[in-house]
Amino acid sequence: MAKKRNKTGNSALSIPNYISSWRRRDSNATDAKSRNIQEQAQSDRARVIFSSSFRRLAHKTQVFALESAEVRNRMTHSLEVAHVGVYIVEMVFKLLGKTSEKGTPVEQWRVLDEDNQNAISSFVETACLVHDIGNPPFGHFGEKAIRSWFDNKKSETWFKTATIVKQSSRDFLNFDGNMQGFRILTRLQRNLNDPYGLNLTATQLASAIKYPIYNPKKPEKCGYFESEAAIKREIWDKLGLDDKTRHPCSLLMEAADDVAYCVSDLEDAAEKDLVSEEDMCRAFNKNEFSIDAGDITKARTDFTNRIVKHIAEKFIDRLKRAEHCATTPLIDAYEDLDRQKEVTREKVYSSRLVLANEVTGFAVIQGLLDQFSRLFQMKERDFRMLADTYVNHQSFYGGAVNKVASKYTEELGLLSLLSRKHLGVYFDALNDSGNIFPEMFHRLHLVLDLITGMTDQHALNTYRLVSGQILYGHRH
């Protein structure tokens, strides 16, 4: 007797609904319909790796801004997280193979065939690769700068106009790179000029969301803007997930990030002479530690092996209790990790070098917003006419548009710095029959899309340009 098929195309008796190849738009690939789930997951991975948003991570801050290759950037960090993520998945299936429990999600995962196991590994790996893809220049400093700037502008008429829809102000007052990342994957990164962004599978998109619920008490801890809330709901519906649950692959991605970042930050800090060997002894609970002898590599390997097994066991325990879609992280308390976090807070994140970078990051990000906010002062009709002229590669000084253009000076130069692809997203949103937001809401996102997509150096150069410190085309 054939197994019943569910709306995602999976077998309802053996494969969970949340492992799905469904995309918001059918793939145009000639072999798309014949691809198995593993091949669909690999297609997601390829779409990410070959995207410009992923490439830009190589020039974005991890901890130390505008530094040489001796320390990590967002891309190298993401690659390390992806390695750990795959390791965790391998350990989960290794330990599941030793169980014989029936009647729980443990059995459902244990009996998955090789294609589905490999697909889950790929979904987690790709989720790890994109977990920081929405981070603005200067990392978390950039996020703070954006939130602070909008908080100071919330009494402006243009801000009130933009945020008349309930909760829409959180997109700006509570800006976070996780939200911007989901926007990049679903709208902004148009490898094929596709309004669906990278058009990733629903499983891949859900795997990238750490925070599936908007919580007013922790407003930054949400995985999507209000501008993409409808997309999130659509995905959760297709995967059969409850609104208040998360995808199990996102749990594994989050755990991989927790494992990778502290050790890496300590290793980079050692390169900068910010931590002593005594600090490393405390971080790794050792009596002796030699940075020059490569003890950090040994410590990282030992720590990773132990905590990966711990995470896999915790995840399997969640499967046994059918709590594998719960929102609480897999790592709640782990003594070795807690020690590392304590040392990094004291010696790395509180160092003069890192704090000085925060000053620079604030000045650059807020300076860019100050300049581009001139575009928020423009009348909607004028902005749309001039933006459309620019998108279509036409002159501001020809025909009927000349009369409108003559009213502005700096604004025309700022318009010319916007991305035509981002302007395409702006016009698509305005023309969407389901759009519930005012034009100014999309205009604010347009400027944020530009600034948050910049690398650290590009942000610095653009700030110097718009503040009159350099001429266009000159770096000095």
CB 411 within 8 A of CB 447: no
User: What average pLDDT does this structure show over 429-434?
Assistant: 94
Residue 195 has pLDDT above 70, yes or no: yes
Q: What is the pLDDT of residue 31?
A: 84
- Among the residue ranges 66-70, 363-367, 451-455, the one predicted with the least confidence is 66-70
Residue 101 has pLDDT above 90, yes or no: no
Residue 13 has pLDDT above 70, yes or no: no
CB 254 within 8 A of CB 326: no
Q: What is the pLDDT of residue 4?
A: 38
Alpha carbon separation from 411 to 375, 394, 399, 466 (Å, rounded): 6, 16, 19, 11
* 79-84: long-range contacts, CB 8 A cutoff, minimum separation 24: 79/129, 80/260, 80/264, 81/128, 81/129, 81/131, 81/253, 81/256, 81/257, 81/259, 81/260, 81/261, 82/125, 82/126, 82/128, 82/129, 82/256, 83/260, 84/128, 84/256, 84/259, 84/260, 84/304, 84/308
- Among the residue ranges 34-48, 66-80, 163-177, 208-222, the one predicted with the least confidence is 66-80
Residue 69 has pLDDT above 80, yes or no: no
User: What average pLDDT does this structure show over 125-145?
Assistant: 94
Q: What is the pLDDT of residue 473?
A: 67
Q: What is the pLDDT of residue 230?
A: 96
User: What average pLDDT does this structure show over 96-120?
Assistant: 92
Alpha carbon separation from 208 to 133, 246, 368 (Å, rounded): 10, 10, 29
Indicate the pLDDT class of residue 474, thresholds 50, 70 and 90: low
User: What average pLDDT does this structure show over 250-259?
Assistant: 96
Who has greater pLDDT, 393 or 101?
A: 393
User: What average pLDDT does this structure show over 375-395?
Assistant: 96
Q: What is the pLDDT of residue 139?
A: 86
User: What average pLDDT does this structure show over 167-185?
Assistant: 97
Residue 244 has pLDDT above 50, yes or no: yes
Q: What is the pLDDT of residue 400?
A: 86
* Amino acid letter, residue 386: L
Q: What is the pLDDT of residue 14?
A: 63
Q: What is the pLDDT of residue 68?
A: 65
Q: What is the pLDDT of residue 346?
A: 92
Residue 10 has pLDDT above 60, yes or no: no
Q: What is the pLDDT of residue 30?
A: 80
User: What average pLDDT does this structure show over 435-447?
Assistant: 98
User: What average pLDDT does this structure show over 399-418?
Assistant: 93
Q: Which residues have C-beta within 8 Å of that of residue 401, sequence separation ≥ 6?
A: 385, 386, 389, 394, 395
Instruction: Give per-residue pLDDT as tens, 270-314.
Output: 888 899 999 999 999 999 999 887 898 999 999 999 999 999 999
Measured CA to CA, the distance from residue 270 to residue 464 in angstroms comes to 32
Model confidence, pTM: 0.93
Write phi, then psi, for 13 (nearest 5 degrees).
Answer: -90, -20
Q: What is the mean pLDDT of the chain?
A: 91
Q: What is the pLDDT of residue 33?
A: 83
Instruction: Give per-residue pLDDT as tens, 14-66.
Output: 688 999 999 999 888 888 888 999 999 999 999 999 999 999 999 988 877 77
CA-based radius of gyration for the chain: 24
- Among the residue ranges 95-104, 154-163, 320-329, 410-419, the one predicted with the least confidence is 95-104
CB 166 within 8 A of CB 436: no
Distance separating the N- and C-terminal Cα atoms of the chain:
73
Measured CA to CA, the distance from residue 152 to residue 463 in angstroms comes to 20
* Cβ-count burial 198-212 (b if 16+ within 10 Å, e if not): bbbbbbbbbbbbbbb
